[in-house]
Structure 1
């Protein structure tokens, strides 16, 4: 694929969830089926090695194999794809990026150095070196809720001045955040969580690396199309979607103290679109219970049936 510009990184992107066998190995056959399903659902793009891709657990050989498979299938289907080159080690993140650049991704996702909180000069030095190594492939900065260093709107505006950085994946914010981000929206692709997509698009954001796609990829794509075609109806649906998410999915994190990727995998199993996929996370992290998943499945079909 060709590298995408900030104005081309748009829409509803699906995360490549990592299927884990009982022996903690990766199920590559199911991984291939998952990619095929996303392509058939006509997602706007697919990205590897986000949190739900469990990038932090992968050996370098596993990382290479996953992204080789993704690149081959997406090239054949002409599906935009981004490679998550994130790692807690900046050195390993840089090596992952360099090693997979030949796969011609549409973009690279990276996190900021995370072992010790970086200062702004250190962040700028890191981003410039990564962007230089990635060129002409653009960078997308993944700044999740649990990041040790969360960038402010003023800092994002400074990030937008660094050549080679095209976008971000962020948790979003309140009205004040959206007001402060308006200059950034004009310069970078800004993606927010999928269940806030209508609000995000109505305030100037450009899409979602979508948690809703974990529940049902085709349904999430219809949800995105609704946001573009009929924002009033989309905002009304979003109010129900957010109520469902906060009542049924968020408690896995807040009540059960599970990591974010456990919620993503639980919603995928609840959605039932990938036969054989389980909510299992790689050691040492715990996954959602069968009871929690059954509750999500039942309530999703009751509260947001449009997604199915």
Structure 2
């Protein structure tokens, strides 16, 4: 299995898991968010990743989230389910469930906390690969896993049987573009192409897609990729300029946290301001409640024409 066995491309929002203010799983809001993204023309969604707060869910809740998103999407866009866990056995169990529920594919980072060495990373993905039957995506998330999958390691992983893609969230842009160039012949690469530099790479080398934290822009995010596909790089560059202006005002370098709160907390606050169904965060995450922070966030959205 390789990149040609899937048709994934374009903009895939990293899907937040909505909770009620009291911390209960809110599947009604989840379904509304699926409908929102479908109406905005998203090409896919990535569920129960970092934005999805998988770490605060029970096994039963993670399965319920997977089932509800796949069912609600109903084929309108691709659905990839995050299956990160502390062992290959647990990861494979989540993956088999998601694939059986109808997910188009699954993704996982190296196990958190363990800080695996390169040979251990390869062995981990080989173990997951051997235990499932379906498309698998490597999720490079250094801030969560303690491992930054560099170009050489990504090259090794790209040859593992059912690995068809990499969602690369390294904070090192040079490394990302080197990895993209090295492995795109075998796997789909999702990463920070939606920037001025990324547009130039797309012109000359190509690229598959971006998994972004939600979608603050809405329809213009998938339109960026549709512009690229029809060769309209001028339109793509205009959206890239808007993204390059917006995100440094809201997110810390590397995109691992917001200026005003934890990544999930700030994202859900911004979504609420934009009228997007996102619900609340669940402890250990705390909501952004400081009035001055909320005022500053709203001011950024106004300044950039989103409100």
TM-score by length of 1: 0.85
Larger RCO (alpha carbons 8 Å, 6+ apart): 2
Task: Assess if the C-alpha contact under 8 Å between 2:89 and 2:128 holds in 1.
Answer: no
In the alignment, what sits opposite 1:13? Answer: 12
Find 1:103's aligned residue among 72, 95, 101: 101
Q: Does the 8 Å contact 2:150/2:175 carry over to 1?
A: no
The 3-state SS of whatever aligns with 2:8 is coil
RMSD: 2.7
- Distance in structure 1 (CA, Å) of the matches to 2:219 and 2:270: 14
2:68 alignment partner in structure 1 = 69
1:139 paired with 2:136, answer yes
In structure 2, the residue matched to 1:47 is: 46
Map 1:182-201 to 2 at 5 A. Answer: 182-193=181-192, 195-196=194-195, 198=199, 201=202
Please name the residue that 2:287 is paired with.
287
Unaligned runs of 5+ in 2: none
Mapped pair 1:296 → 2:297: yes
Distance in 2, Cα, partners of 1:192 & 1:262: 22
Picking from 100, 112, 118, the partner of 2:110 is: 112
Report the Cα distance in structure 2 between the residues aligned to 1:117 and 1:176, rounded to whole angstroms.
19
Q: 1:199 to 1:288 in 2, by over 3 A?
A: farther
Residue-by-residue CA offset, 1:215-237 (whole Å, 9 max, x unaligned): 14323222332343422332243
Q: Does 1:226 align with 2:230?
A: no
Question: Structure 1 176/254 Cα, relative in aligned 2: closer, same or farther at 3 Å?
Answer: same
Are 1:25 and 2:24 matched, yes or no? yes
Matching residue of 1:82: 80
Could you tell me whether the CA contact under 8 Å between 1:48 and 1:67 is conserved in 2? Answer: yes
Query: What is the rounded CA distance, in whole Å, between the counterparts of 1:254 and 1:163 in structure 2?
Result: 37
Which structure dedicates a bigger proportion of its chain to helix? 1
CA–CA distance in structure 2, aligned partners of residues 6 and 201 of structure 1: 22
1:153-191 Cα distance to aligned partner (Å, 9 max, x none):
111111111110011111254346524541212221111
| Counterparts of residues 98-177 of structure 1 (less than 5 Å) | 98-135=96-133, 137-146=134-143, 147-171=145-169, 173-175=172-174, 177=176
| Residues 1:241 and 2:243 are matched in the alignment | yes
Q: Secondary structure at the match of 1:113?
A: coil
Contact kept, 8 Å, 2:193 with 2:202, in 1: the verdict is no
In structure 2, C-alpha distance between the alignment counterparts of 1:98 and 1:34, rounded to whole Å: 24
- Using the size of structure 2 for normalisation, the TM-score is 0.85
Contact 2:180/2:207 (<8 A) preserved: no
Contiguous gaps of at least 5 residues in structure 1:
none
User: Residue 214 of structure 1 aligns to a residue in which SS?
Assistant: coil
| Separation in 2, partners of 1:113, 1:261 | 20
Are 2:29 and 1:35 aligned? no
- In structure 2, relative to structure 1, the CA distance for the partners of 1:281 and 1:254 (3 Å cut) is closer
Mapped to 1, the partners of 2:158 and 2:275 lie a distance apart of 39
SS of the equivalent of 1:47 reads: strand
Count of aligned pairs: 297
Cα deviation 1:37-77 (Å, max 9, x = unaligned): 11222211122101111111111111111111112122x34
Q: Distance between the aligned counterparts of 1:260 and 1:88, measured in 2?
A: 22
Q: Secondary structure at the match of 1:208?
A: strand
Is residue 158–residue 183 contact of structure 2 (8 Å, CA) maintained in 1? yes
